[in-house]
Amino acid sequence: MKAKVAFIGNPNVGKTELFNRLTGQHQHVGNWPGVTVEKKVGRCVCYGNELEIVDLPGTYSLTAYSIDELIARNFIIEEKPDVVVDIIDSTNLERNLYLTLSLLETDANVVVALNMWDIARNKGMEIDVKKLEELLGVPVVTTVAITGEGVEKLKEAIVKATKGKRRKIEWSYGKDVEEVIRELQEIISKDEKFKDYPSRWLAIKIIEGDEEIIKKIEGSKYKDELLKIASRIKDGETVIAERRYKIIGKIIEEVLKKEEEWSFSDMLDHVFLHPIFGIPIFLALMYAAFQFTFSFSQPFSDMINAFFSWLGEIAKNNISNAMMASFISDAVLAGVGSVLVFVPPIFSLFFALSLLENSGYLARAAVVMDRVMHKIGLHGKSIISMIMGFGCNIPGILAARTIENKRDRIITVMINPLMSCSARLPVYILIAGVIFKNSAIAGAAVFSMYLLGIALAIIMALILRKFLFGGEPPTFIIELPRYMFPKISNAARDMWEKGKWFIIKAGTFIFIVAIIVWFLSSFPWNATHGGVDIENSYAAVLGHAIEPALRPFGWRWQAGVALFFGFLAKEAIVGTFGALAGESASVAVATWFTPLTGFAYMAFVLIYFPCAATLVVMLREIGKKYTLITITYTISLAFIIAGLIELIGYAMGMT
């Protein structure tokens, strides 16, 4: 038997973790038709039943407030999944049950998962699960998504639910409202148009004045009658919301024996959200995260580097055919090695970001930074998109979806390429490590790229807001999850999930680029004397063509070739250096750059172009026009900033 199951729940309740638990690797990520919200579908075979599980966007209610909520609601009302699993934060029944009650009104076949049960238990909360089942009329299962506790029970409950219909329980919204609901239902049942909708749900939505539903009844001949009856409840939206919470209050009274303590989390918030210390703490944590990224990973990178140089030597000495030896050592090994060297820092970065996110701090960062972000016309939530952008611009751009207002979202996306993603990190590490002998200065130079990116993002945000959009800065509201001690194993899994793309890219795309670069730099074979005189190669032709634009900056044609390949993916820059230099990229860099021209080149790489993959995502998220504007401004800005750095440097007497 095949059944359709939907997962729904508030944000931060562990919905996606639970989804992952059930579906494992059998997932498919696509988009909801017509919109750019991610649609995750997974499969799970439980007790001989095939379940197709859809992970709906996180939502607080079933109003038509945001795209996410509308998607979730339309899926439940129109697609009518066989079972809807409502995932609830056990430690916050009151707020979470709001969605549950809204769901029950849709006649959905609901199974409730009381997630984060371990936290509730540890805090000494007592929830009467049996009583809750009885009051809601649906099965209730306790789960701990991060450990997998209760997942089997949940599977059982889902399978069982596919075979039967739930017991129907109706909570009273009070005499006045119920009377109106009943009258509305009578009329609704007369119109064929509405036969697919649960009539009680539709009646409540009409009272609430829900825009989407009002549009739907527009065409009905009973429209005036319906609106007239509904208007007997003044400010229906507020009345319904208030009474729904009142009903929840009654349920809570019966099932919850001891409330959960927030005191520790609140205490931490007095520190982390402090009006004065909040921002310095934020900066310190970011700095610590990046320090960890670099220093922790350094020995691993060194080991990989040494290993590939050794392999290259062996290949060169043992392969008699010169072209083959060159191909193996300069193209294959140098290409793969130059990329793998950066697996340790990139994985460390994702690990650190995951710790920040899972500890609950990332949401606080949005709060702390809202004051600042507001001043520059951005949204507090933009900071989350920006921080994610440090890992990779693509998740950064996707994270902007949580921003409700379209203008704010577009600006946040447009400045994201200025967030220095982890693919640019290898370029900085390579160049800074060579041109600055002192490792502390090199570290500071790398960190300064991040600061430069942030500063430029702020300036661009102000400019874009002023000239492109105008209008008021956004409103801000965000729920803060409880602080949690992050689990190392979860962070490790996150790191692997997010870092995987780099290895896959290294194995395919960048590998191919490395071979192309080797070909361009070693051929014509005779003219270059087997890749020795790169001056005579095809790559030189290409590089010399770009050179005039770069000459004012003191950059060699090799640097130009690298920038060209960097259009495809920024990590290709380092690979190109490696292939062009023949043996060691760091030796080459030392001859190509002075401290000043190298630093300016780092800034140029930071700014000059969103990578190809980012462009594709951007096109999908904000459309052609704004993507084109982004490309234009990044290229112009790169020339301006690199030029300024060199001018200021020369003025200060640097070379």
Partner 1 sequence: MNMANNIIPLAFMAPGERGQIVEIRGGYGMAKRLYGMGLTPNSVIEVIVSNPAGPILVNVRGSRVAIGKGMAMKIFVRRV
Tell me: does residue 540 bind partner 1 (CB under 8 A): no
What backbone phi and psi angles, to 5 degrees, belong to 6? -115, 140
CB-side exposure of 269: number of CA atoms within 13 Å?
Answer: 15
Residue numbers 347-366 binding partner 1 by CB under 8 A: 366
Compute the least distance from the CB of residue 368 to partner 1, in Å: 7
Site string for partner 1, 377-396 (x = CB under 8 A): ---x----------------
Q: Quote the DSSP letter at residue 1.
A: -
Q: How far apart are CA 539 and CA 557, in angstroms?
A: 9
User: Which amino acid is located at 376 in the chain?
Assistant: I
Compute the least distance from the CB of residue 177 to partner 1, in Å: 15
Q: What residues does 45 pair with on adjacent strands?
A: 50
Tell me: does residue 479 bind partner 1 (CB under 8 A): yes
Tell me: does residue 480 bind partner 1 (CB under 8 A): yes
Tell me: does residue 259 bind partner 1 (CB under 8 A): yes
Of the residues 371, 544, 620, 625, which one makes contact with partner 1 according to CB under 8 A:
371
Q: How far apart are CA 458 and CA 148, in angstroms?
A: 42
Compute the least distance from the CB of residue 70 to partner 1, in Å: 12
Nearer to partner 1, 245 or 292 (CB): 245
Tell me: does residue 227 bind partner 1 (CB under 8 A): no
Q: Cite the DSSP H helix spans in 75-197.
A: 93-105, 117-122, 129-136, 151-162, 175-188
Compute the least distance from the CB of residue 612 to partner 1, in Å: 36
Contact 154, 111 (CB under 8 A): yes
Tell me: does residue 191 bind partner 1 (CB under 8 A): no
Instruction: Single out the segment in contact with partner 1 by CB under 8 A; choices: 153-161, 369-377, 416-424, 570-578.
Output: 369-377
- As given in the structure block, the two tokens for residue 590 are 């030392």
Nearer to partner 1, 480 or 492 (CB): 480
Tell me: does residue 261 bind partner 1 (CB under 8 A): no
Q: Quote the DSSP letter at residue 149.
A: B
Contact 476, 380 (CB under 8 A): yes
Tell me: does residue 547 bind partner 1 (CB under 8 A): no
Nearest to 354 by CA among 520, 499, 553: 499
CA distances, 393 to each of 59, 403, 407, 450, 614 (Å)? 25, 16, 19, 13, 6
- As given in the structure block, the two tokens for residue 438 are 């002192």
Instruction: Single out the segment in contact with partner 1 by CB under 8 A; choices: 172-180, 215-223, 423-431, 476-484.
Output: 476-484
- As given in the structure block, the two tokens for residue 371 are 């004051």
Cα end-to-end distance, the chain, whole Å = 74
Number of residues forming the site for partner 1 (CB under 8 A):
46
Tell me: does residue 275 bind partner 1 (CB under 8 A): yes
Tell me: does residue 466 bind partner 1 (CB under 8 A): no
Instruction: Single out the segment in contact with partner 1 by CB under 8 A; choices: 146-154, 160-168, 274-282, 581-589.
Output: 274-282
- As given in the structure block, the two tokens for residue 52 are 């197709």
Residue numbers 192-211 binding partner 1 by CB under 8 A: 209
Q: How far apart are CA 450 and CA 394, in angstroms?
A: 17
Compute the least distance from the CB of residue 483 to partner 1, in Å: 10
Q: Which residue ranges make up the site for partner 1 (CB under 8 A)?
A: 59-61, 63, 65, 91-95, 98-99, 209, 237-238, 241-242, 245, 259-260, 262, 265-266, 269-270, 273-275, 278, 366-368, 370-371, 374, 380, 404, 473-480, 482
